[in-house]
Amino acid sequence: MIMDFVWAFIVGGSICVIGQLLLDIFKLTPAHVMSLFVVSGAVLDGFSLYDRLIEFAGAGATVPITSFGHSLLHGAMSQAEEHGFLGIAIGIFQLTSAGIASAILFGFIVAVIFKPKG
Amino acid sequence: MITKDNYQQSIKPYQPKPNLIQNCIKAFVVGGLICVVGQGLTVLYMEMFGFTAKEAGNPTITTLILIAAILTGFGVYDKLGQFAGAGSAVPVTGFANSIASAALEHKSEGLVLGVATNMFKLAGSVIVFGTVAAYVVGLIRFTAQTILGS
Amino acid sequence: MKQGKQSWLFQNGVYIIDTATVSGPKEKQGPLGSTFDYSYEKLHCDGKTWEQAEQNLLSKATNLCMEKSGIREDALDLIVSGDLLNQNVTSNYVARDYSSSMLCVFGACSTSMESLAIAGSLINSQDNQFALAATSSHYATAERQFRYPTEYGGQKPDTATSTVTGAGAALVSSQTSHIQVEGATIGQVIDYGAQDPLDMGSAMAPAAANTILQHLTDFNREVNDYDLILTGDLSSVGTPILKKILYQSGVDIETVHDDCGLMIYHQDQNIFAGGSGCASSALVAYGHVIQQLRSGNLNRVLVVATGALLNPTMMQQKESIPCIAHGVVLKRSDAI
């Protein structure tokens, strides 16, 4: 139990360090880093590697944005098994729906309620 | 001698370098802590509602997004971001911040043309590249499975 | 009158009747806080939107300047004004409230001295009697137009600058006063290939150096002829580069140079490498410098406002940053 937290901390922190190195050494913009991470997550999941990382690190692997790419592919693959090639498009947002929907909803509510502080 | 031709090279000594080690430590600690909060939420949802680790994933992410959106509204997340860099940008909370901050910034242009239209100004690239990558990888993987399976 | 290659000498006598400076809250807390005529307590400057906030700054500065000068508004021949926003909206929207002619100018952060030089020239030509030079910038409007939403958690590097929230105005006339506008040097657009919009100090230093050297040549002067040579917003990164480039050309400004962006804030105000924006040079020149000239602590000052002529589209297309610098000579006058 305690070790779950320790590994979540170490793995999650390490993924962020990779992001920081991309920002500082390769001078990428945050948008480029995020895009790269999502693509990496999908590619790693293509080789079924990301699931192993999640088993090992728990939230350390599901909280970083790389997991978004992994979830997109997982959704696509689960539908593909049922509906064939068409299923890829049907299922792509299946698992990420909650994340995207809540980000839109909460973003909207925050914009309505708050005033930019500057 | 600083000239136009060697300008970029010759001014390097005057440009402060990012403190790489310090930045990485900050990113590691803050990013790690956000994941620990995520882990705590997962455990909480598993204990409280009897979810499996997988089922607890969505409520965990949703809660983190809610927290990030609120911190953005209170003008705290941008300060956290300046401190932590990738540590607060890479977790899903950074994704939520990019959406909430863009939405809030354009409130002055109205809910439709401002908030709604500009909401994905920063986060759009993540969704586009995620979708395209997942589609391509999915296509390759499914093709491989079909060929190998048959 | 054209002087040398790029300069104008105002031989008919051009004077600043009075100036006004209006700042935001952060600038008020800085070392020059007490020199401003008015400071808003909140970044919103009584406006509903950031754009309105900047208009309020500029409007307050122009109104105060007219008030302090004691010149009736219908006597004003011309406004020369500009800012950082697309289509110079701040200046143009504020000018709606005036019934005089309006010339809108853009020189990025060099707009302060560009507008003053143009106003001076139009007075010197004796076609006009009173011209108002004004400019403004606001942290949040500049952030949203040139960078990211203000609440976005991106990390800025130490080379970045922080846009000064404020506005400045100067009423220029052929009527004598204690402050004379002696002349101006109009800059060339200089591009040394810098591409980082979060390091504008490095990009602008060659333009400032070029204008200062040209100025000294055109007027056949030396650094010692000035009590102070001010640059607009070269920051702690661009300032040493400027000094080095000038030193290589045999000009040592070490003892007389200061940078407006480094004067406005205290070190601990989280402004990275220093202040920037049109208001950086405007607040210092129209506040502190004018007051020092009046009190006799300074006699002749060269203000070189520096501008990075970029926009986000050109940056995304991987273009470099062209820069410009305009210098204006302010002199204590005994004409009155």
Condensed to tens digits (0 to 9), the pLDDT of residues C98-132 reads: 999 999 999 999 999 999 999 999 999 999 999 99
Chain A neighbours (≥3 Cβ pairs under 8 A) are B, C
Residue contact B15–C154, C-beta within 8 A = no
pTM: 0.94
Condensed to tens digits (0 to 9), the pLDDT of residues C182-227 reads: 999 999 999 999 999 999 999 999 999 999 999 999 999 999 999 9
Of A23, A30, A116, the CB nearest to C151: A116
Q: Write out residues 73-102 of A within 8 Å (CB-CB) of C.
A: none
Alpha-carbon distance B139 to nearest alpha carbon in chain C (angstroms): 32
Compute the average pLDDT of residues A65-88: 94
* CA nearest to B7 within chain C: C192
Identify from A16, A26, A115, A117 which residue to disrupt to test chain C contact, counting C C-beta atoms within 10 A and taking the largest count: A117
Q: Is B125 on the interface with A (CB under 8 A)?
A: yes
Residue contact A117–C151, C-beta within 8 A = yes
Residue contact A118–C50, C-beta within 8 A = yes
pLDDT of residue B1: 85
Residue contact A42–B36, C-beta within 8 A = no
Closest among C283, C261, C80, C89 to C168, alpha carbons compared: C283
Q: Is A65 on the interface with C (CB under 8 A)?
A: no
pLDDT of residue C247: 96
Closest among C244, C246, C265, C305 to C110, alpha carbons compared: C305
* Residue C75 scores a pLDDT above 70: yes
Confidence band of C28 (pLDDT split at 50, 70, 90): very high
- CA C284-C306-C26 angle, 5° bins: 40
Q: Is C50 on the interface with B (CB under 8 A)?
A: yes
CA C293 – CA C267 distance, rounded (Å): 26
* Residue B150 scores a pLDDT above 80: no
Of A24, A33, A77, the CB nearest to B141: A77
* Residue C169 scores a pLDDT above 80: yes
Q: Is A110 on the interface with C (CB under 8 A)?
A: no
Identify from C51, C155, C158, C318 which residue to disrupt to test chain A contact, counting A C-beta atoms within 10 A and taking the largest count: C155
Compute the average pLDDT of residues C143-148: 94
pLDDT of residue A1: 80
**Which residues in chain B touch residue C153, judged by CB atoms under 8 angstroms apart?**
72, 77-82, 88-89, 94, 97, 101
Residue contact A116–C50, C-beta within 8 A = yes
Residue contact A117–C154, C-beta within 8 A = no
CA C154 – CA C148 distance, rounded (Å): 8
**Mean pLDDT estimate for chain B:** 95
Residues in CB range of C137: below 8 A, 6 or more apart: C54, C83, C84, C109, C163, C164, C165, C166, C167, C277, C278, C279, C280
- B124: its two tokens: 């759009």
Inter-axis angle of helices B20-49 and A2-24, nearest 10: 140
**Mean pLDDT estimate for chain C:** 96
Q: Is C156 on the interface with B (CB under 8 A)?
A: yes
Chain C neighbours (≥3 Cβ pairs under 8 A) are A, B
Phi, psi torsion values for C81, nearest 5 degrees: -145, 155
Q: Where are chain B's structural domains?
A: 25-148
pLDDT of residue B144: 92
Compute the average pLDDT of residues B32-36: 97
Confidence band of C336 (pLDDT split at 50, 70, 90): low
Based on C-alpha coordinates, what's the Rg of chain C? 18
Compute the average pLDDT of residues C285-298: 96
**Which residues in chain A touch residue B92, judged by CB atoms under 8 angstroms apart?**
63-65, 67-68, 99
Compute the average pLDDT of residues A87-104: 94
Q: Is B107 on the interface with A (CB under 8 A)?
A: yes
Condensed to tens digits (0 to 9), the pLDDT of residues B64-117 reads: 999 999 999 999 999 999 999 999 999 999 999 999 999 999 999 999 999 999
Confidence band of B54 (pLDDT split at 50, 70, 90): confident
Residues in CB range of B103: below 8 A, 6 or more apart: A107, A108, A110, A111, B115, B116, B118, B119
Q: Where are chain A's structural domains?
A: 2-113
**Which residues in chain C touch residue B23, judged by CB atoms under 8 angstroms apart?**
155
Q: Is C50 on the interface with A (CB under 8 A)?
A: yes
Q: Are A69 and A61 in contact (CB under 8 A)?
A: no
pLDDT of residue A117: 86
